[in-house]
């Protein structure tokens, strides 16, 4: 038998058929939906007179456009409310489980899947959201889909997928103090660009990746799309299994033993070939920050912003347009730059470990008075845990307000918008123009670097305060 | 939704010589609150097209009468970022049927094909020639022939062939969609579930 990468083996286990000179029909184990990208899929289904083929394999939550305060009240924005109502109606009609606002399991779709044990090794998982790659941290093939594909899954539990090329990114060595999973992925994207992974499915490997918790691994896989790759995975190991054990929807008893037999076999074969292999030394990674308007425009926090002189002529206009939007002079430093907002949250860094890191950093200190900080837990369970662990008290004493779960300022569909021209240090995943509000300017960082900025009101190397 | 059959297109072009146009630029998140697929064209490139008082920005190409047509020509890595299919709907709803670029993001490409919008990937050289041509001669027409998989600048005769998956090509030419196909193999899917 030929040696194969794990992602190929997972895919082959789910191949219903291969269309001649076309895509393969891929069976989907787990389908996650939310209020923004699903309504048109349901109306398409109904126009064809179809019902949902396998309603038990779809789980819904409301996260993208929900408010992060006063969630017990009716949603004020009428359009947002109508989307959330539509989701409730569609789920009710088709027998789909919904963890809506105020349900103890509600939260960002990519936070709740793993924390409920819905995400398991070897599965195929899709969602109408490009950060579905997050679930790849468990060794599953997980990727974002469009609304037409949501309709396909609802109708047939399958989608059509061409086979992607394979890339393996190996990060070996020991991470420096103050360097987190977020810095690893921002570093990788800065090396290969915002489009370097397009057409590939990534496997992350190496001792530095292995040393990460599940939360850290999720942060890495989550941002695979920011280099253009639809998905990325990490082979499961003891860290994965102990994270899953006992979770609400993880297998129990004999089913667990049976699942473990399968999960332990989920590894890339020795000698498997990839279309592209990249390797990095963990010791070369420092706290990272983005300075431009795509996630590939990132650098070490202590570096100077590039002056663009080394770029090809056709790349220069987009580069200078980007810096102009950011209000940044080429060739200047990032350290010491004034900031206005700090956002902790999102499917990238809204998990309990992120809140622990942030709270641990600001404990006993005070938020700089001019900084507006939004601390948004990724789910109700994260919120509850943060209260139980005393993190909320620590944050409040340091001058930070704790909000309710949702996607929030990551995409600013709700009221959590950074005003025009203001600078936000954000633990989310995209620094696109207007992403955090029309005219808003985003610097992407780890929770530690965001914490340092919240305390000083300036871009600050977190290691200076550790 | 079954798509309109795609036939050969001859049109003038609208140039957008910007790289890494992400789907948040194509349609910002705050306009994703509708529950039907129509009407997104109004907000296509919203924040590039209108100022904060909702007045058209005179320097943005969609607001300049000189350039019109059903072919959008954009810089490399078009459609990156969010998987929102609303981006493809907005471009289609505005009246475009083809997007030409030297590189497309995966999810966008798939979404476009599922909605009868043809992504045509050309070489860097052809793209920069085409952008220069339509910049200097806005009336220059381009022919996109899906059957032959070619794109041709009619005035100069410059032509290039483009790739498309044969299955997707057949779907576009005939107006089929994937759901029709998936429903036709339901027995096979059920059999697969039993074997799993």
SS3 content of chain B, % helix, strand, coil (to 5): 40, 20, 45
Buried b (16+ CB within 10 A) or exposed e, A434-462: bbbbbbbbbbbbbbbbbbbbbbbbbbbbb
By C-alpha distance, the chain A residue nearest B180 is: A152
pLDDT of A22 strictly over 90: no
Give the pLDDT of residue B36: 87
* Whole-model pTM over 0.90: yes
Distance CA A367, CA A227 (A): 33
Give the pLDDT of residue B19: 94
Both tokens of A382, joined, read: 């994260």
Test B80 with A195 for CB contact under 8 angstroms: yes
Residue A80: list chain B partners with CB under 8 A.
Answer: 33
Could you write out the DSSP letters of every residue in A54-67? -GGGEEEE--SS--
Task: Note whether B171 and A160 are within 8 A (CB).
Answer: no
pLDDT digits (tens, 9 = 90+) for A250-285: 999 999 999 999 999 999 999 999 999 999 999 999
Residue A36: list chain B partners with CB under 8 A.
Answer: 32-33, 84
Interface with B, mutate which of A62, A158, A298 (most B CBs under 10 A): A158
Test A156 with B186 for CB contact under 8 angstroms: yes
Closest residue by Cα to residue A37 from B106, B89, B32: B32
Distance CA A15, CA A163 (A): 11
Q: How far is CA A211 from the centre of its chain?
A: 19
Both tokens of A315, joined, read: 């790349």
Test A22 with B81 for CB contact under 8 angstroms: no
Residue B29: list chain A partners with CB under 8 A.
Answer: 64, 411-413, 435
Give the pLDDT of residue B2: 56
DSSP state of A121: T
Closest residue by Cα to residue A418 from A343, A331, A350, A344: A343
Give the pLDDT of residue A314: 84
Test B186 with A318 for CB contact under 8 angstroms: no
Residue A129 pLDDT grade (very low, low, confident, very high; cuts 50, 70, 90): very high
> What mean pLDDT is predicted for residues A382-404?
97
Closest residue by Cα to residue A234 from A251, A218, A255, A252: A218
Residue B166: list chain A partners with CB under 8 A.
Answer: 21-22
pLDDT digits (tens, 9 = 90+) for A402-433: 999 999 999 999 999 999 999 999 999 999 99
pLDDT digits (tens, 9 = 90+) for A165-175: 999 999 999 99
Picking from B36, B84, B185, the nearest residue to A37 by CB comes out as B84
pLDDT of A296 strictly over 70: yes
Both tokens of B74, joined, read: 């954009």
pLDDT of A1 strictly over 80: no
pLDDT digits (tens, 9 = 90+) for A330-356: 999 999 999 999 999 999 999 999 999
pLDDT of B132 strictly over 70: yes
pLDDT of B1 strictly over 70: no
Report how far apart, in Å, the C-alpha atoms of A352 and of each of A143, A266, A288 are.
23, 27, 21
A283 near B CB under 8 A: no
Q: How far is CA A124 from the centre of its chain?
A: 17
Give the pLDDT of residue B35: 85
Give the pLDDT of residue B38: 86
Residue A232: list chain B partners with CB under 8 A.
Answer: none
Residue A433: list chain B partners with CB under 8 A.
Answer: 24-25, 47
Give the pLDDT of residue B196: 84
Buried b (16+ CB within 10 A) or exposed e, B133-160: bbeeebebbbbbbbeeeebbbeeeeeeb
Task: Note whether B32 and A413 are within 8 A (CB).
Answer: yes
A454 near B CB under 8 A: no
H/E stretch holding B124 reads helix B124-136
Average pLDDT of every residue of chain A: 97
Closest residue by Cα to residue A154 from A81, A90, A65: A90
Residue B183: list chain A partners with CB under 8 A.
Answer: 50, 155-156
pLDDT digits (tens, 9 = 90+) for A59-108: 999 999 999 999 999 999 999 999 999 999 999 999 999 999 999 999 99
Closest residue by Cα to residue A447 from A356, A364, A337: A356
Residue A151 pLDDT grade (very low, low, confident, very high; cuts 50, 70, 90): very high
A408 near B CB under 8 A: no
Distance from CA of A261 to the nearest CA of B (A): 15
Task: Note whether B129 and B155 are within 8 A (CB).
Answer: no
**In 3-state terms, what secondary structure has residue A227?**
helix
Task: Note whether A142 and A124 are within 8 A (CB).
Answer: yes
Percent of chain B topping pLDDT 90: 92
Residue A430: list chain B partners with CB under 8 A.
Answer: 22, 24, 81-82
Distance from CA of B109 to the nearest CA of A (A): 10
Residue A163: list chain B partners with CB under 8 A.
Answer: none
> What mean pLDDT is predicted for residues A126-136?
98
Distance CA B79, CA B44 (A): 13
Both tokens of A404, joined, read: 């309710």
Look up tokens 């062939």; give the residue: B161
Distance from CA of B110 to the nearest CA of A (A): 8
Test A43 with B36 for CB contact under 8 angstroms: yes
Residues 101-120 on A with a CB inside 8 Å of B are none
pLDDT digits (tens, 9 = 90+) for B71-115: 999 999 999 999 999 999 999 999 999 999 999 999 999 999 999
Test A315 with B19 for CB contact under 8 angstroms: yes
pLDDT digits (tens, 9 = 90+) for A440-463: 999 999 999 999 999 999 999 999
By C-alpha distance, the chain B residue nearest A29 is: B193
CA angle A23, A24, A25 (to 5 degrees): 125
pLDDT of A370 strictly over 60: yes
pLDDT digits (tens, 9 = 90+) for B14-64: 999 999 999 999 999 999 988 888 899 999 999 999 999 999 999 999 999
> What mean pLDDT is predicted for residues A190-209?
97
Test A438 with B52 for CB contact under 8 angstroms: yes
Distance CA A374, CA A406 (A): 12
pLDDT of A21 strictly over 90: no
Test B85 with A318 for CB contact under 8 angstroms: no
pLDDT of B4 strictly over 90: no
Residues 6+ apart with CB under 8 A from A388: none
Closest residue by Cα to residue A38 from A102, A115, A109: A109
Average pLDDT of every residue of chain B: 95
Give burial (CB, 10 Å; 0-12/13-18/19+) of A260: middle
């Amino acid at each position: 038998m030929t040696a194969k990468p794990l992602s190929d083996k997972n895919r082959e286990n789910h191949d219903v058929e291969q269309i001649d000179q076309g895509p393969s029909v891929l069976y989907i184990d787990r389908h996650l939906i939310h209020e923004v990208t699903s309504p048109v899929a349901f109306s398409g289904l109904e126009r064809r007179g179809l019902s949902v083929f396998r309603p038990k394999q779809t789980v819904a939550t409301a996260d993208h456009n929900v408010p992060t305060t006063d969630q017990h009240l009716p949603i004020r924005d009428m359009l947002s409310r109508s989307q959330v109502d539509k989701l409730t109606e569609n789920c009710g009609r088709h027998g789909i489980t919904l963890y809506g606002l105020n349900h103890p399991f509600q939260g960002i779709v990519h936070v709740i899947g793993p924390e409920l044990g819905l995400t398991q090794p070897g599965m195929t998982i899709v969602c109408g959201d490009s950060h579905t790659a997050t679930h790849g941290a468990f060794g599953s093939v997980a990727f974002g889909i469009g609304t037409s594909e949501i309709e396909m899954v609802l109708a047939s539990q399958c989608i059509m997928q061409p086979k992607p090329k394979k890339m393996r990114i190996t990060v070996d060595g020991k991470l420096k103090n103050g360097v987190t999973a977020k810095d690893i992925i921002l570093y990788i994207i800065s090396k290969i660009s915002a489009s370097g992974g397009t057409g590939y499915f990534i496997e992350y490997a190496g001792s530095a990746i292995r040393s990460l918790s599940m939360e850290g691994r999720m942060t890495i896989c989550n941002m695979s799309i920011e280099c253009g790759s639809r998905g990325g995975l990490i082979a499961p190991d003891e860290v994965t299994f102990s994270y899953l054990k006992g979770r609400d929807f993880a297998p129990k008893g004999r089913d667990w033993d049976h699942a473990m037999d399968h999960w332990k076999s989920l590894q890339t074969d020795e000698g498997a070939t990839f279309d592209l292999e990249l390797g990095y030394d963990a010791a070369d990674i420092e706290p990272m920050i983005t300075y431009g308007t795509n996630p590939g425009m990132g650098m070490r926090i202590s570096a100077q912003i590039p002056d663009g002189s080394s770029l090809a002529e056709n790349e220069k206009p987009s580069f200078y347009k980007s810096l102009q939007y950011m209000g940044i002079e080429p060739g200047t430093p990032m350290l010491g730059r004034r900031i206005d907002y700090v956002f902790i949250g999102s499917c990238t860094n809204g998990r309990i470990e992120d809140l622990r890191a942030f709270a641990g950093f600001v404990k006993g200190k005070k938020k700089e008075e001019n900084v507006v900080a939004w601390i948004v837990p990724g789910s109700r369970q994260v919120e509850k845990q943060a209260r139980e662990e005393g993190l909320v008290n620590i944050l409040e004493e340091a001058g930070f307000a704790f909000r309710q779960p949702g996607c929030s300022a990551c995409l600013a569909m709700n009221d959590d918008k950074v005003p025009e021209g203001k600078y936000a240090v954000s633990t989310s995943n995209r620094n696109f123009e207007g992403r955090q509000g029309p005219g808003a300017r985003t610097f992407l960082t780890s929770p530690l670097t965001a914490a340092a900025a919240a305390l000083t009101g300036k871009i600050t190397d977190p290691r200076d305060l550790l | 939704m079954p798509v309109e059959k795609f036939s050969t297109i001859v049109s003038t072009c609208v140039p957008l010589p910007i790289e890494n146009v992400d789907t948040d630029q194509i349609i910002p998140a705050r306009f994703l609150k509708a529950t039907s697929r129509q009407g997104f064209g109004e907000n296509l490139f919203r924040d590039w097209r209108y100022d904060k008082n909702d007045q058209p920005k005179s320097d943005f190409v969609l607001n300049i009468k000189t350039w019109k047509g059903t072919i959008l020509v954009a810089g490399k890595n078009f459609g990156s970022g969010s998987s929102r299919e609303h981006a493809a709907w907005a471009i289609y709803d505005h009246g475009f049927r083809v997007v030409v670029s030297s590189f497309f993001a995966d999810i966008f490409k798939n979404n476009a094909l599922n909605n009868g919008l043809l992504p045509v990937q050309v070489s860097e050289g052809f793209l920069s020639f085409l952008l220069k041509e339509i910049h200097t001669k806005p009336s220059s027409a381009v022919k996109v022939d899906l059957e032959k998989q070619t794109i041709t600048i009619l005035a100069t005769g410059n032509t290039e062939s483009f790739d498309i998956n044969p299955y997707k090509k057949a779907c576009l030419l005939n107006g089929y969609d994937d759901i029709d196909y998936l429903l036709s193999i339901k027995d096979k899917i059920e059999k697969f579930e039993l074997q799993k």
